[in-house]
Structure 1
Amino acid sequence: MLPARHFTDTRSQHQTLRSFLTNCRPATAPFNVVQRLTAGLTTLDNKLISQHKKQRRHGVERSKGLRKKQIASPVPEILQQNDNGEEVLDAVLGIEVQDPSQREPVLFFITVFHGKDLYPSPLACLPAEFDTSRQILACRYRVLRKIGEGTFSQTVCAQDLYYPGRHLVAIKIMTISYNAIGVQESKLLRYLNAKNEDSDTHIVRLLNTFVFENHFCLVFEYLGGGTISIPQNYSEQERLHILRKVACQLLTALMYLRGMGVIHADLKPENIIGLTVDSYKLKVIDFGNALSSDDVYHYYETFEIQSLLYRAPEVLLGLPFGLEIDMWSLGCLLCEYWLGHPIFRSSTADGMVRAITDVLGYLPDAPYKNGKFIIRGTLESDSELDDDKAHDIKSRKLRIARLSEILQSRNIDFINFVNDIFHYDPSERPKPVEALCHRFLAPLFPYKMLVDNYNVS
């Protein structure tokens, strides 16, 4: 063991060290050497942070921390700079641990950083050969890099040190003021994951939750494929095959959500992630806006739900809505994957309604004339303003031709599939299980097509 002179000879620091070493002892299953160290970090971190706060209250500047010349020779020089450019080390503790798998003791270094990094005051505990700038969360997850950021949270990729393989996880760190959203999301995902543990529902799996620096954190399986895209230089048949696979998986997810009475309410490309690079196996993520179909009335005042480019017309015009709004978003997603850009584009709700009617024709008076938000020139009763447009809405053939022109495809099954999903009447939109049986997806289910052709009962 390192001689006692390497540590300041004070009673409080001896107590801190003793507490740390006590907590390092494995209490359950045999841990590896890193796990034994991480098990005692919470107590040490809290005491050191408390000590620093006390020093600040007494006017002690951080620059008066341990200096380079005070560091024991076996300890590597892991230094930071304060505001004056001086090299400062907040705290370093060297511990020699006997690993049964090693002939010689292994020296580990535990460094407490209090810098201005993304996560303030984290405790890093890593073997000496690792990059000590990487941080440990919950004494278990070693942060590698940031992979996403939003209004309510930011997401990092991390290694789970509790497993020998150190597999990757994604950790969603909520902004403190939005912790309640994270808590609600975790409850919903536990409900969804627990109901179907064996089969693949294409819903992201929640692995763990914890609180870090008052931030609620959710630990998910790591999906390394990124957002889905279909290369525009592929042939039409190749692109259609990929689109069928994507549509089938998304419909499977929506079928499961519908069975559970859950509306995702935020389907968009950023929330559809591939499992691996160059793979079109995917999962639906981000259930922060999801809600039960019984709770939709909470949005009947503002109707602020769904991302604007993927918002259903009944939401845009302020009508009661339900599970069907996810099917509309699915139609927008599939068209965007096909085109490489959103099919309906505007920066305002009024503009979105006009963009939709420019493609699909006037909205029917029933039920849209009873909407909370009436937009002049978008209903059938306004048809005298544009005779050509009124004629288009009455003719399915002209609507199909318009979609075929915009989507730049002559595959009639694909156009009919999209047209059915974009039905203005929510009750007429196909349910996910019905859409899975559409002729467009038949090449993925050859047996189903054979049964239909021969009318086997």
Structure 2
Amino acid sequence: VGFREIRHVSDLRPVVNSHPQGRRVDPNAPDKYLSPLKCLTVALPQTFTLCNSSFRYESSENPRRVLTKPSKPVYNDGVDNEDWDYILYVNDVLGGENGGDRYLILDVLGQGTFGQVVKCQNMRTHDICAVKVVKNKPAYLNQSKMEVAILDMLNKQYDPNDRHHILRMFESFTHKNHLCLVFECLSSNLYELIKQNQFKGLSISLVKVFTGQLLDCLQVLKEARLIHCDLKPENILLKSLQSPHIKVIDFGSACHEMQTVYTYIQSRFYRSPEVLLGLPYSTSIDMWSLGCIVVELFLGLPLFPGTSEYNQVSRIVDMLGVPPHHLLENGKQTHEFFNFVGVDAHGRKQYQLKPMDQYASEHRTNEQPSKQYFSHTKLKDIIMEYPVSKRNAKQSDIDKEMAFRRSFIDFVEGLLELDPLKRWTPQQAAKHPFISGEQYTGHFVV
């Protein structure tokens, strides 16, 4: 009972009742009927209403996951928290106040001193993007307006075809007194890539690929006479996890070479000697940061992980020596880190790094001996002695790797030149054999 003989393949097709008894018509398709599954899922509110005529449902009343911490309303008519951050919720909508595009909030991507970055969907185009929601405070608002102006100029004038690894900004708008910047949505940053690799460093060939792209970006910035001022692995993002294509982000600290107002710039590990010493600075500070970054990509650990400004200076001096006389002579902060110890035969003042206990006593700080990440002190020794992966490697492969490292050392030394006047420009660095692929025959002279 219940079985029937199959005579043709068409007998295997399911028999569907197009007019099932007792089923409701699908409101979205009047010629179809709702299945029991749909009645208890996507059409559940209507099912409840049929069971209880007083039942009412509004999607706006759904509990929403809060993305901002702290989330207690304090300022701006209750939409800002105590830090003047806009309190963001999943499925909240940004924009649309003046007829512009509206952005549905999906998740948080990051938070910082400037505000928050959230992953959103453009409700008109359905494209995924990143929206930076700036704090509702004048200082952050003014700096972010500068970021908008800089990115607008870079995107439209200097990189209109999106070829030079610079973040794309689609638009900006104001939402409940918060400036919002809409960017392309990218993938992981290079610090996360190093972390996922267990801080063991990347292959030197991959480091070369990343470095070439960063030099391309910095050439455009130099042409525009712009200084990024905060170049670090966290501000370099992969476009996707499937390719090594990268983009430089976060131009919130960027400035024009003729408008170098701030003295406290650059993240400490990547801070240049001229900034540490309180000297005027130029686009060359980004080249110093680049030198620190590319070595970190290769080693997996920061080259100068200073615990304080003094510790940062001491690490640089230990590895590269005392900065040139003219930098120390003119630096506003030289006396903070160095002692005057006399004059040389030419009448030039001589300086020596202050001992740690002297600096700690003068500044009432608890300076401690810094942790040493490497068994060697000099840059050349650190790179050449870094372990080579010998798994299934032929001697010829190891020899090639060591030759590549010698070229890499010469390249990095041009970036980590203490004197900013002698430090390589992006255009000069791009000609080095490490980047150009030409055979390295000895010290590269630009």
Q: Please state which band the TM-score falls in when normalised by the shorter chain.
A: 0.5 to 0.7
Would the alpha carbon gap of residues 373 and 234 (structure 1) be closer, same or farther in structure 2, given more than 3 Å must change? Answer: closer
Q: Specify whether residues 266 and 133 from structure 1 end up closer, same or farther in structure 2 by C-alpha distance, changes over 3 A only.
A: closer
Counterpart-to-counterpart distance in 2, 1:403 and 1:142: 49
Contact 2:229 / 2:266 at 8 angstroms: preserved in 1? yes
1:342: Cα distance to partner?
1.1
Q: Matches of 1:142 and 1:193 in 2, distance apart?
A: 25
Offset of 1:312 from its aligned partner?
0.5
Displacement of 1:383 after TM fit? 6.1
Deviations 1:313-350 (A, max 9, x none): 01101111111000001011111111212111222212
Deviation at 1:382, TM superposition (A): 3.9
Shift of 1:424: 1.1
Q: Deviations over 1:382-420 (max 9, x none)?
A: 46999xxxxxxxxxxxxx992122233542111111111
Give the drift of 1:193. 0.5
1:433 aligns with 2:427: yes
Query: Does residue 1:355 correspond to 2:315, yes or no?
Result: yes
Alignment pair present for 1:370 and 2:330? yes
The corresponding residue for 1:173 is 133
AA aligned to 1:438 is H
Identity %: 32
- What RMSD, in angstroms, separates the aligned Cα atoms of the two structures? 3.5
Partner of 2:91: 134
Q: Partner residue of 1:51? A: none
Whether 2:364 is the aligned partner of 1:404: answer no
Q: State the SS of the aligned residue for 1:381.
A: strand
Higher relative contact order structure (alpha carbons within 8 Å, sequence separation ≥ 6): 2
Structure 1 residue 288 corresponds to structure 2 residue 257: no
Q: Which has the higher helix share?
A: 1
**C-alpha separation in 1, matches of 2:199 and 2:48:** 54
Q: Is the 8 A contact 2:90 2:106 kept in 1?
A: no
Q: Is the 8 A contact 1:136 1:142 kept in 2?
A: yes
Distance (whole Å) between structure 1 residues aligned to residue 412 and residue 420 of structure 2: 14
Q: How far 1:113 moved relative to its partner?
A: 7.2
- AA paired with 2:350? S
Are residues 73 and 239 of structure 1, via their aligned partners in 2, closer, same or farther at CA, if it must alter by over 3 Å?
closer
Q: Note if 1:417 corresponds to 2:411.
A: yes
1:159/1:168 contact within 8 Å kept: yes
Query: Cα distance, 1:421 vs. partner?
Result: 0.7
For residues 208 and 284 of structure 2, the distance between their equivalents in structure 1, rounded to whole angstroms, comes to 20
CA contact (8 A) 1:363 1:378 kept: no
Aligned positions of 1:240-259 closer than 5 A: 240-259=204-223
User: For 1:252 and 1:143, how far apart are their aligned partners in 2?
Assistant: 33
Aligned partners of 1:362 and 1:378 also within 8 Å: no
Partner of 1:117: 66
1:321 aligns with 2:264: no
How many residue pairs align between the two structures? 321
Contact 2:277 2:328 (C-alpha < 8 Å) held by counterparts: yes
Query: In the aligned structure 1, how far is the partner of 2:220 from the partner of 2:353?
Result: 44
Aligned partner of residue 321 in structure 1, secondary structure: coil
Q: Does 1:381 align with 2:378?
A: no
Gap change, CA 1:406 and 1:200, over 3 Å in 2: same
Given residue 372 of structure 1, which amino acid in structure 2 is its aligned partner? K
Give 2:232's match in structure 1, choosing from 240, 251, 268: 268
Q: Distance in 2 between matches of 1:351 and 1:234?
A: 22
Contact 2:90/2:105, CA 8 A, preserved across alignment: no
CA contact (8 A) 2:65 2:90 kept: no
SS at match of 1:428: coil
Secondary structure of the 2:330 match is coil
1:115 Cα deviation from its structure 2 partner: 7.4
1:433 deviates by 1.1
Distance 1:252 1:365, change over 3 A: same
Show the 5 A alignment for 1:203-214: 203-214=166-177
> What is the TM-score of this pair, normalised by structure 2?
0.65
Shift of 1:225: 3.4
Maintained 8 Å contact 2:275/2:281: yes
Match of 1:184 in 2: 146
Q: CA deviation at 1:116?
A: 8.7
Q: Distance in 1 between matches of 2:60 and 2:406?
A: 64
